Amino acid sequence: MNRRVRRKGGQFRDKEKSISQSYVEICDGSSNSERKGEVDWTTLPDDTVIQLFSCLNYRDRSSLSSTCKTWRVLGSAPCLWSSLDLRAHKCDSATATSLASRCANLQKLRFRGTESANAIMNLQARGLREISGDFCREITDATLSVMAARHESLESLQLGPEFCERITSDAIKLVALCCPKLKRLRLSGIRDIDGEAINALAKHCGQLEEIGFMDCVNIDEVALGNVVSVRFLSVAGTRNMKWSSALQLWNTLPNLIGIDVSRTDISSTAVLRLLTTSQSLKVVCALNCPVLEEESNHTVYNLKGKLLLALFNDIFKGVASLFADITMKERNVFSDWSSLKNGDKTLNDTMTWLEWILSHSLLRIAETNPQGLDSFWLRQGAALLLSLMRSSQVDVQERAATGLATFVVIDDENATVDCGRAEAVMQDGGIRLLLDLAKSCREGLQSEAAKAIANLSVNAKVAKAVAEEGGINILADLARSMNRLVAEEAAGGLWNLSVGEEHKGAIAEAGGIKALVDLIFKWPYGGDGVLERAAGALANLAADDKCSMEVAVAGGVHALVMLARTCKFEGVQEQAARALANLAAHGDSNSNNAAVGQEAGALEALVQLTCSHHEGVRQEAAGALWNLSFDDRNREAIAAAGGVEALVALAQNCSNASQGLQERAAGALWGLSVSETNSIAIGREGGVAPLIALARSDAEDVHETAAGALWNLAFNPGNALRIVEEGGVPALVHLCSSSVSKMARFMAALALAYMFDGRMDEVALIGSSSEGISKSVSLDGARRMALKHIEAFVLTFSDPQSFAAAAASSAPAALAQVAEAARIQEAGHLRCSGAEIGRFVAMLRNSSSILKACAAFALLQFTIPGGRHATHHASLLQKTGAARVLRAAAAAATAPIEAKIFAKIVLRNLEHHNVDALI
């Protein structure tokens, strides 16, 4: 950049303190800069630049600071570094050291994880007043002790809501000794907090007004009675409380205003005692206390201005009752309070605390999802979370958004969302609110809002509302974020929205496809969350023909193959394989099938994934190979990559697997077996027996794929004999006669026809085993059984009256009526090779009248006008000289009427395809 920013004051370079003075003016809203006309960024005064910097995240602020020397100085202004949120960033010792020069005046710090906790001491922020940490499960006493010792001015320390399992009372004692100015202490999930630790707080922290010991196992409740400075106390979720001892001393605490006993075993008697005997107490919060709820008569507790908040009470009404002199709508009590210039410090402190503990308790309740709370969530829970999302406290907003994302999900395993809860959020204006928060400049809030939008969008009605409110564009923008957590949740939202066919085009138009592909390249090792969501969304989008082409143009094939090859997370592998399967499913309309096969390492990776320990990965990988096998080059390349062996092994081991895996395993073998070389290899590898086992499945879809594979295998005489020897005839006969699927019955009949058209006889004389003679003897019975059921199958499509009319006149209308009755719609999708068509033509000359009828019936299906490959089959019939054979079959006096009529219809079909040379 060669232009300099014009500065407001020439003295700025020498006196950086003027930055702080300007910032004070900004915060007070007293900046009197007047602008006339358009503003050129090169003329912006320093205080305006600083204000703009304050609206940016740290990454963008650093990027702008690097553009010129003046902005670098401005970007280092102490007023911009009074608070720091490191949760979305990897913060190790080196990063913290590099930030140290800017953190001399740092007041507030938020971090995430143990590495950041250990690193923040390198910030050299000795004047820190507030520290808040998430994901603190691994933080030890040593880390917390050093943190306290380095920050003697600390006024607020919060670790949670995740459990701090490795922190003990020893660290709490050190916090008390090192931080005498402490006013607020919130810790979650500590196992034991003994009397020594609490007494140390009482002794050394004379200003300690708020204590939160949530979800602890044991707390010395007697010692808590010694912290006379405490105004707000929370022991929510804490077990093993001795309420009689606690109440005896807590009732005497002179400053206690509010107490939170949510999710404990407190009784109605104990609650009543708290409300009646404490002189200072104003509010008791007891959400989701089973004993209280069972014992209570569900009346409203509000004794002499003392309030109980419980699930069976109207919480909005209760909180509104604190404002005796103010008329307000009860449902707007939190937002109205925020907008009021209320001079009552006690009331303001109470409301601030209430917002925090309600957001915390509602999230915890949503996480455990206890039974019997549907009415609460619908009546007031959803509205409470939405109200708290308007709080001026950032952590309350975030936790409320997380609560919304959590409470609607009633089954994490299957991503099941409660429709009533989701629609309650929508009806209360929650979608617009969440989308507005998602546009916030605060990345933590963006992330949690996007997560809530994503979960709610599992519901189709909510998804429609999100789309109508412009949510797709917002999520696509967030997916481009440099913050991995934000991008991850945005990708999750696009994943859920992309389930709806009506949203796929809108996602593409918003640039969502490019954003999702870029995510994979941006964070190839960023963890399973962002990659699984991005791949899952691309998988849904790839199911649409037009979107699939955009995925390919955006580099999606390369990105997804990269994941399939290198990523070790099973969820990512599953979605990447599913996406590749969907990309390859449009072989007739675009070139993605071939493009996936030609991508280096794609087929090898998918073959390898069929050996995964995770069933979903195996299923999607097999599905991808099935779709890819429709391309001739892919088919041979899959075999060369070990696909035959891998898929036979998969089929052998999936007898107890899901229907989806069974269908795809058989389908992939079906696709590979189109090649006779592969078909022979499948037989030699032992693929016949597992396919016969799958043919006995109760699932219709598995019937079809297993029957299709056995049909292809039976084309080879050696495989045909293997099918007989492995007991395949009874299985195919059962399919032919009993399957609900017409396609499965059709392909089973064709497989039986291949097996007993005479070509297997030579192989049977030798046999595929040392028992050749006994096996050959058994063929007669198998042949009779097969022919009987082939005939029965063909006759199901033969109406005697229609056939008689067609035989008598051969009128087009009569033939058309027979053809329509005989049509198997799905058979039009089958594609036969020249050798297969030739075999059916040869079968028309077979001495068996049943096989003649079956061959004519098959050729009818393959040539019906409108079939996907009908013209191709008509061309193959021309090359085999089939017209003459068909006419002979139609005119043969000894041929069955079915063969004659079906042959006439095939001739008519050929005429339709304008194959004049055949007629």
Q: What band does 204 get if pLDDT is binned at 50, 70 and 90?
A: very high
Question: What angle (nearest 5°) sits at the alpha carbon of residue 618, between those of residues 614 and 620?
Answer: 120
In this predicted structure, the answer to whether residue 455 has a pLDDT above a threshold of 90 is yes
This prediction has a pTM of 0.86
Distance CA 859, CA 307 (A): 83
b (16+ CB within 10 A) / e for 70-107: bbebbbebbbbbbebbbbbbebeeebbeebeebbeebb
Distance CA 105, CA 16 (A): 14
- Who contacts 256 (Cβ-Cβ below 8 Å, separation ≥6)? 230, 231, 232, 233, 250, 278, 280, 281
Express each pLDDT in 566-585 by its tens digit.
999 999 999 999 999 999 99
In this predicted structure, the answer to whether residue 36 has a pLDDT above a threshold of 60 is no
In this predicted structure, the answer to whether residue 909 has a pLDDT above a threshold of 60 is yes
pLDDT of residue 297: 62
In degrees and rounded to multiples of 5, residue 708 shows phi and psi of -60, -45
Which range, of 229-243, 510-524, 719-733, 863-877, averages the lowest pLDDT? 863-877
pLDDT of residue 301: 53
- Report which residue type is found at 167: I
- CA-nearest of 269, 349, 358, 263 to 318 is 358
- CA-nearest of 226, 186, 225, 185 to 202 is 226
pLDDT of residue 417: 92
In this predicted structure, the answer to whether residue 16 has a pLDDT above a threshold of 50 is no
How distant, in Å, are the alpha carbons of 79, 537, 768, 816, 865 from that of 825?
A: 73, 32, 37, 15, 11
* Local structure of 419: helix, strand or coil: helix
Pairing of strands 416-417, 130-134: unpaired
In this predicted structure, the answer to whether residue 641 has a pLDDT above a threshold of 50 is yes
- CA-nearest of 103, 106, 105 to 95 is 103
Question: Once rounded to an integer, what is the mean pLDDT over residues 21-27?
Answer: 35
Express each pLDDT in 129-165 by its tens digit.
999 999 899 999 999 999 999 999 999 999 988 899 9
pLDDT of residue 319: 92
Please, what is the average pLDDT of the chain?
A: 88
DSSP strands (E only) in 737-837: none
Torsion from C-alpha of 89, 95, 99, 104, nearest 10 degrees:
100
- CA-nearest of 909, 817, 814 to 864 is 909
In this predicted structure, the answer to whether residue 746 has a pLDDT above a threshold of 80 is yes
pLDDT of residue 756: 94
Q: Are 247 and 222 in contact (CB under 8 A)?
A: no
How distant, in Å, are the alpha carbons of 56, 415, 457 from that of 454?
A: 25, 11, 5
Q: What band does 7 get if pLDDT is binned at 50, 70 and 90?
A: very low
pLDDT of residue 40: 57
How distant, in Å, are the alpha carbons of 175, 778, 850, 858 from that of 757?
A: 89, 16, 10, 14
pLDDT of residue 550: 96
Q: What band does 46 get if pLDDT is binned at 50, 70 and 90?
A: confident
Top pLDDT among 798 and 765 is at 798
Pairing of strands 258-260, 283-285: parallel
Q: Can you give the residue ranges of every domain in the chain?
A: 314-433, 642-763+776-794, 800-917
Distance CA 730, CA 724 (A): 9
Q: Which fold has domain 642-763+776-794?
A: Leucine-rich Repeat Variant (1.25.10)
Distance CA 389, CA 177 (A): 36
Residue with tokens 């032992």, as numbered in its chain: 686
pLDDT of residue 341: 62
Distance CA 388, CA 395 (A): 10
Question: What angle (nearest 5°) sits at the alpha carbon of residue 673, between those of residues 672 and 676?
Answer: 120
Q: Find the length of the chain.
A: 919
Express each pLDDT in 470-486 by its tens digit.
999 999 999 999 888 99
Distance CA 845, CA 864 (A): 22
Express each pLDDT in 379-397 by its tens digit.
999 999 999 999 999 999 9
Distance CA 861, CA 829 (A): 10
Q: What is the DSSP letter of 81?
A: G
Which range, of 120-124, 395-399, 514-518, 849-853, averages the lowest pLDDT? 120-124
Question: For 623, left (φ over 0), alpha (ψ -120 to 50), or beta?
Answer: alpha
Question: Once rounded to an integer, what is the mean pLDDT over residues 318-335?
Answer: 81
pLDDT of residue 3: 28
pLDDT of residue 4: 29
In this predicted structure, the answer to whether residue 438 has a pLDDT above a threshold of 60 is yes
Q: What band does 540 get if pLDDT is binned at 50, 70 and 90?
A: very high
In this predicted structure, the answer to whether residue 646 has a pLDDT above a threshold of 80 is yes
Percent of the chain with pLDDT over 70: 91
